[in-house]
Amino acid sequence: MLWRTGFMLLIFLGSTSSQKQDVSEGDLHQLQADTPRQRSRPPVEPLDFGFVPSGVYGTHAYYEPGAIGVLFHMVHAFLYVVQPNPFPKDLIVTVIQQNMGGIKIEEWRKPENVVLLLQTLYYETGFLVCLVMGCLFLLLLPVVGLFFCACRCCDNCGGEMHQRQRKNADCQRGFYTAALIASSIFITVGVLFAYAANHNVSAQIKSTRRLINTNMRDLKTFANNTPAQIDYLTAQYTTAKNKVLSDLDNIGPLLGGRIHSQLEKEVVPSLDTALRMAGVKVESAIKAMRETKEALGTVGSSLEVLQEGTAKLQASLAGERASLSNTLSDPACTNGAVSQTCNSIRATLAQLAINADFSELPDVSPQLAIVEVLLRTDLSNIVQRGYLSFNDTPKLVQEQTKNIVSGVKGMLDKIGTEIIGFSKMFPIEASLANFTIFLNQGQKKIEAYYPQIDQMDFYRWIGCVCTLCTLVLILAFNTLGLLCGTCGYDKQATPTTRGCLSNTGGNLLMAGVGFSFLFGWALMAVVTTSFTVGGNVEKMVCEPLANRQLFKIIDTPYMVHPAKKNFLPGMLFQNPNIDLTVGSMYRDCYENNGLYHALQLETMFNINSFLNRTVYNKDLANVFDGVRIDLQDIQLLEQEGRDNLVNFANTGLGEIDYTAYLTEVNKGVTMEDLLSFSNELEAKADQLPRGALENALKGHASSIRQIHREQVVPMEQAMKYVRARSSLSQSVKLLQKSSNDLPVKVTNILRAIDAAEYLITHNASHVVNQETNAYMKSLVGYFRQYTAWVQNSLTAEVAQCKPISNLVDTLEIVACSFIVDSVNTFWFGLGGSCLFLIPSMVFSVKLAKYYRRMDTEDVFDDAVNVSCHGEQVFDVHGNLAVVSPPSYDTLTRFPRASAPPQYPGW
């Protein structure tokens, strides 16, 4: 009843045995499950939950018998010789199960029961043999003693007070003396063994009180510490909660730092390459744009210079051509020979004109304006923008999660309240307080029996001592008989003339024999009874209890109760199907595990599933799952810049008529060299007759030279014209080339920028999402640490049930080591002494002949040869006679009995 009440009061949630809850681990959100990733997530920082407060149990359920342990080992060895068979677990289980309804005589006639009986007898063969020998000793010893006494009364069996004279009488007496001494020593050793065992029982009763007190104290410590341990478990939820809140408050630096670290390892190298390529392409494009701008500017300025210079030159040449045409219209040119010259000059007037006409070339000002607008876009800062997007990641994380942090704080506070409230739902403290009161009352009741136990132990001790005193009395007779007989023995004295001391020794030895017959059977009855009971208890209870084989019998299904598969859970929880056994509970308690694990309370209430549902519930999982860090808005180039690049590609450079430019640029300034034209004109004028026409033509030649000298030569000398033409030519060629390359370069720029942005928004975002999930998993890891710590603490630290195993070990120590081993040692010593009583009686009877005074003795007469040298002896009547010494062996020839002489002083 004590065990059952104690267990029922100590079950944490026993009152909820009918409210078992099935928990599915699938209730946890997908975020809580591990997802395969290309790299391992960072380890979760271990939390320090401290140590669960635990009491110190003072019971040391270990017994070291000391010197008497040698005797215990001897008894165990003897019992092993008597019963070497292993523990018959299967036989006991079968016998008990077949006789649960009661033992009926007619049932034993069945073959299976007969077989069981024979197996039982075979197992008990050693004990049965010893029991039969003890019973024979018990029955035969008084019968033999009775016949021995009757026989001696008839002067037989050594009862005749006459001793034969033999040659080896001294040797026989010495042998009998030594044998009796040896027998007495063995009897003494057995008495000492028995007395040591008897004294050990009394001495260990005081140790039993100490064990009872320490076990009670440990049970009280267990009951008092359990509520504080449970409160400590619930309070440590704050440690996990505070850590989660701390990490959430610092989510920007923590998560941003992780993102930075991983981006530096995975994305930044690729981004460096992409941005470097983009940068190179942007720089190349910028250089091309600048060159295009310069080329367009050069074309524009050069075109202005050429148009201005050619306009002046064209005006001068047009005036000179008109003047020369008027001159050739002179009537003098109509004469025969003169007219031919005039006609030839008139035919060359068309050459007096500019060759390149730059006025028809298109203006490039619109294209130049577009290029100037594009160059105002800061394309060179694209690379820096790419890196700045990562440097702002912590701030971005902080901004995007500020609403989530505040929501999680409220949820965690609510969860903590639920856990504390749940721990207070069950009356654990009240139950344990009642259990403590029960222990105090039980201890008082046990202590009330101490005086009665002491009194009973005193009577037991007196009874055992009185039993041993019978052997001590026999030993005293043997010892005194040996002392008196040995000290009073006179070799010169005849058997009829032995002294009083010697005769007393012989009588004491015979008294010892008589007491041996009187008490030996009673002592053997005590030995046989205690051997049968104590030996079987040792082999059937103590040894199986020591090696825990006894638990296997109790734990056999349907062994204790035919309707209950497992005895212990059926008694405690009314559920015999739980796989809980006495052996498993003892092992867990022996290892000082928690009662939650020892009683397998997880089968009734799974605390791990409860914590998973409560500590990390669906709402919290959904909140954590909603944490997303988005880098999609990061742009290396705004839409305006993209439009400018597209506009630049569509500036119309390809629509410019570069052939017309190059054609006009490659033409000469004039259609004919003015200096050559003036020389030819002057030469033709010389062919004309002298006169006004000649002079007029030479004047025109001089004017053309002047135009050449004043306009063409200065322009050529100043290189303006030539440089303008050259620059225009080069710029036109560059623009012609750029008109084909610019769209490709712009496309490459946009592709490079798109690749860099894709790397940021996809690859980098992938890393960010991975780190975000890892960060959320680290937060979940804190809760997992708490639930695992609670589970481990309940298994190994909370309500450690070492006192329960100590109760079993204490019961084993008290029942087996203190009592059974001592009882077995007592009968072992007493039985050995009883066995040595037999040789002691035999040798005492034999030796008493040599010490007791005989009524008659052997005398020898020689009737043939009698001389004066004969010896004088007294006959039985006291008359003096002369006997001559025999000439042959008188000890074996003509013997006759003779009474001892009688003197008046006797």
Could you write out the DSSP letters of every residue in 601-659? GGGT--HHHHHHHHHT-HHHHHHHHT-----TT--SS-HHHHHHHHHHHTSSGGGS-HH
- Report which of residues 41 and 76 the model is more confident about: 76
Beta bridge partners of 898: 857
Is residue 11 over pLDDT 70?
A: no
Residues 6+ apart with CB under 8 A from 883: 861, 862, 866, 870, 871, 872, 873
CA distance 645 to 639: 10
Structure tokens at 304: 């202005």
User: What is the mean pLDDT of the segment spanning 798-821?
Assistant: 90
| 634: confidence class by pLDDT, cuts 50, 70, 90 | low
CA distance 596 to 599: 6
| 431: confidence class by pLDDT, cuts 50, 70, 90 | confident
Structure confidence at residue 770 (pLDDT): 78
CA distance 109 to 124: 20
User: What is the mean pLDDT of the segment spanning 161-183?
Assistant: 82
> Strands, DSSP E only, in 748-886?
856-860, 871-874, 880-883
| 341: confidence class by pLDDT, cuts 50, 70, 90 | confident
- Report which of residues 838 and 333 the model is more confident about: 838
Structure confidence at residue 53 (pLDDT): 86
Is residue 453 over pLDDT 60?
A: yes
For residue range 680-699, list pLDDT tens digits in order: 777 777 777 777 777 777 78
DSSP result, 502-519? HHHHHHHHHHHHHHHHHH
Helix runs in 692-719, H state only: 692-707, 713-718
Structure confidence at residue 632 (pLDDT): 59
CA distance 31 to 628: 13
Of the segments 36-50, 424-438, 459-473, 715-729, which one has the largest average pLDDT value?
459-473
Structure confidence at residue 242 (pLDDT): 85
Residues 6+ apart with CB under 8 A from 651: 366, 367, 370, 371, 742
User: What is the mean pLDDT of the segment spanning 819-843?
Assistant: 93
How does the average pLDDT of the chain come out, rounded?
A: 75
Q: How many CB atoms sit inside 10 A of residue 64's CB?
A: 6
For residue range 132-144, list pLDDT tens digits in order: 999 999 899 888 8
CA distance 692 to 699: 10
- Report which of residues 355 and 221 the model is more confident about: 221
Is residue 476 over pLDDT 90?
A: yes
CA distance 489 to 475: 20
For residue range 360-405, list pLDDT tens digits in order: 666 666 766 766 666 666 655 655 665 666 566 677 677 777 767 6
Q: What single letter denotes the amino acid at residue 280?
A: V
| 29: confidence class by pLDDT, cuts 50, 70, 90 | very low
Range from 274-283, 840-849, 891-900 carrying the lowest mean pLDDT: 891-900
- Among 781, 403, 783, 779, residue whose Cα is nearest residue 626: 403
Long-range contact set of residues 180-186: C-beta below 8 Å, sequence gap at least 24: 180/478, 180/482, 180/509, 180/840, 180/843, 180/844, 180/847, 181/482, 183/478, 183/836, 183/839, 183/840, 183/843, 184/475, 184/478, 184/479, 184/482, 184/840, 186/832, 186/833, 186/836
Range from 140-154, 253-267, 377-391, 703-717 carrying the lowest mean pLDDT: 377-391
- Among 77, 82, 71, 78, residue whose Cα is nearest residue 201: 71
Of all helices (H) and strands (E), which one includes residue 897? strand 895-898
Q: Is there a contact between 56 and 796 (Cβ–Cβ < 8 Å)?
A: no
Range from 181-185, 238-242, 285-289, 677-681 carrying the lowest mean pLDDT: 285-289
Is residue 715 over pLDDT 60?
A: no
Is residue 460 over pLDDT 80?
A: yes
Structure confidence at residue 5 (pLDDT): 37
Q: HSE-up of 357 (CA within 13 Å, CB side)?
A: 3
Structure confidence at residue 527 (pLDDT): 94
For residue range 91-131, list pLDDT tens digits in order: 888 877 776 555 555 666 677 778 888 888 888 898 999 99
Structure tokens at 26: 């699938």
CA distance 588 to 796: 9
Instruction: Using the CB atoms, write b or e for 225-247: b if 16+ within 10 Å.
Output: bbbebbbbbbebbebbbebbbeb
Range from 215-219, 254-258, 573-577 carrying the lowest mean pLDDT: 254-258
Q: Is there a contact between 162 and 856 (Cβ–Cβ < 8 Å)?
A: yes
Is residue 576 over pLDDT 70?
A: yes
Q: What single letter denotes the amino acid at residue 99?
A: N
Torsion 494-497-500-504 (CA) sign: positive
User: What is the mean pLDDT of the segment spanning 231-239?
Assistant: 85
For residue range 641-670, list pLDDT tens digits in order: 667 667 666 666 556 666 666 666 666 666
Is residue 854 over pLDDT 80?
A: no
Structure tokens at 810: 């204490």
Range from 87-91, 616-620, 843-847 carrying the lowest mean pLDDT: 616-620
- Among 742, 732, 746, 651, residue whose Cα is nearest residue 372: 651
| Helix pair angle (393-423, 382-391), 10° resolution | 20
Range from 35-44, 227-236, 376-385, 518-527 carrying the lowest mean pLDDT: 35-44
Length of the chain (residues): 906
Structure confidence at residue 24 (pLDDT): 35
CA distance 660 to 117: 133
CA distance 785 to 49: 9
Range from 62-71, 445-454, 742-751 carrying the lowest mean pLDDT: 742-751
Quote the DSSP letter at residue 162: E
Is residue 298 over pLDDT 80?
A: no
CA distance 616 to 627: 16
**Is 691 in a helix, a strand, or coil?**
coil
- Report which of residues 227 and 10 the model is more confident about: 227
| 531: confidence class by pLDDT, cuts 50, 70, 90 | very high
pLDDT > 90 fraction of the chain, expressed in percent and rounded: 15
Structure confidence at residue 252 (pLDDT): 76
| 723: confidence class by pLDDT, cuts 50, 70, 90 | low
User: What is the mean pLDDT of the segment spanning 711-731?
Assistant: 57
Q: How far apart are the first and last CA of the chain?
A: 80
Structure tokens at 497: 């003339």
Is residue 70 over pLDDT 80?
A: yes
Is residue 595 over pLDDT 60?
A: yes
